């Protein structure tokens, strides 16, 4: 049933693409979902902050004093939510079926990851995306290539009912694209068994309560000693990413990092 619904949604989205012309989500100009002029207004995050207190901290790490009850090492954000077309890109990608924007968004994410984890630029050379050079930080050309084999990419899962309604999981699409760009391996490690209320409608305390026992590790593979990069579209308080990180840690993961398009 889920598969049938998903296929229906995908087919529907395909027809929408064929019947309706594309309009830039930033300026409404006809022709593409994101025109090159609007793409230039995207502001990538160069200096990451501690997700708890908001003060600058390399790689978006939690400060020692900000880490109480937190399973994540840190959260890396790729771009500023309020700048340029980022908010509209995320909204259309997530709610209006414009999955094509996932490609642009994941370029931003891959670059943020590269900058913060010092991945080699050689992983990026094959991308035929002229936007890439706008976000490439020359500094990481000079850095040592880090051992990316130790990292696994995964994503925040949706409850099956939500996924069937939407036809896709936006975080999963981003993870697949980021994997292609970076050469990292991706795996669907998590499952969401409880249908929860939208986090945005809740206070910080009820957010945690809402997510309690919602996520489970479904993978039969061992996570012992593995470093996991957990992808979601946006984060506000970090509670969803942290709840996922908690179960990954219980399953043996050594280090868990959040990677998002932006802080909403």
Binding residues vs Zn ion (CB under 5 A): 24, 26-27, 29, 35, 38, 50, 52-53, 63, 66
- Cβ 108 to Zn ion, closest distance in Å? 16
Q: Please, which residue, 31 or 220, has the CB nearer to Zn ion?
A: 31
- Report the candidate in 155, 156, 129 with the shortest Cα–Cα distance to residue 34: 129
DSSP bridge partners of 151: 227
- Cβ 89 to Zn ion, closest distance in Å? 11
Q: Please, which residue, 67 or 246, has the CB nearer to Zn ion?
A: 67
Q: Please, which residue, 184 or 245, has the CB nearer to Zn ion?
A: 245
With contact defined as beta carbons under 8 Å apart, do 229 and 184 qualify?
Answer: yes
* φ, ψ (nearest 5 deg) of residue 229: -110, 115
- Cβ 219 to Zn ion, closest distance in Å? 31
Q: Please, which residue, 131 or 154, has the CB nearer to Zn ion?
A: 131
For residue 230, give the H/E element and its range: strand 227-235
d(CA 256, CA 264): 21
Q: Please, which residue, 65 or 126, has the CB nearer to Zn ion?
A: 65
How buried is residue 111: exposed, middle or buried, by Cβ count under 10 Å (0-12/13-18/19+)?
A: buried
- Report the candidate in 227, 215, 117, 116 with the shortest Cα–Cα distance to residue 171: 215
- Cβ 85 to Zn ion, closest distance in Å? 7
Count other Cβ atoms within 10 Å, centred on residue 189: 25
- Cβ 67 to Zn ion, closest distance in Å? 8
């Amino acid at each position: 049933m889920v598969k049938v619904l998903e296929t229906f949604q995908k087919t529907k989205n395909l027809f929408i693409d064929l019947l309706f012309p594309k309009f830039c989500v930033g300026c409404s100009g006809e022709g593409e979902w994101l025109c090159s002029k609007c793409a230039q207004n995207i502001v990538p995050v160069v200096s990451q902050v501690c997700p708890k207190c908001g003060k600058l901290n390399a790689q978006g790490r939690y400060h020692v004093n900000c880490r109480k009850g937190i399973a994540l090492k840190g959260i890396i954000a790729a771009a500023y939510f309020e700048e340029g077309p980022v908010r509209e890109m995320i909204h259309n990608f997530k709610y209006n079926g414009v999955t094509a924007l996932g490609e642009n968004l994941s370029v931003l994410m891959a670059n943020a990851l590269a900058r913060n984890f010092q991945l080699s630029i050689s992983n990026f050379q094959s991308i035929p995306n002229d936007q890439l050079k706008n976000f490439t930080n020359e500094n990481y050309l000079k850095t040592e290539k880090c051992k990316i084999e130790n990292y696994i990419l995964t994503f925040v899962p949706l409850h099956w009912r939500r996924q069937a309604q939407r036809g896709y999981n936006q975080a999963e699409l981003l993870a697949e694209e980021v994997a292609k760009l970076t050469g990292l391996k991706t795996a669907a490690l998590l499952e969401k068994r409880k249908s929860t209320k939208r986090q945005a409608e809740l206070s910080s305390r009820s957010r945690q309560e809402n997510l309690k026992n919602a996520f489970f590790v479904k993978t039969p593979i061992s996570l012992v000693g593995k470093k996991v990069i957990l992808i979601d579209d946006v984060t506000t308080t970090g509670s969803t990413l942290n709840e996922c990180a908690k179960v990954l840690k219980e399953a043996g993961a050594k280090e868990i990092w959040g990677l998002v398009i932006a802080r909403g």
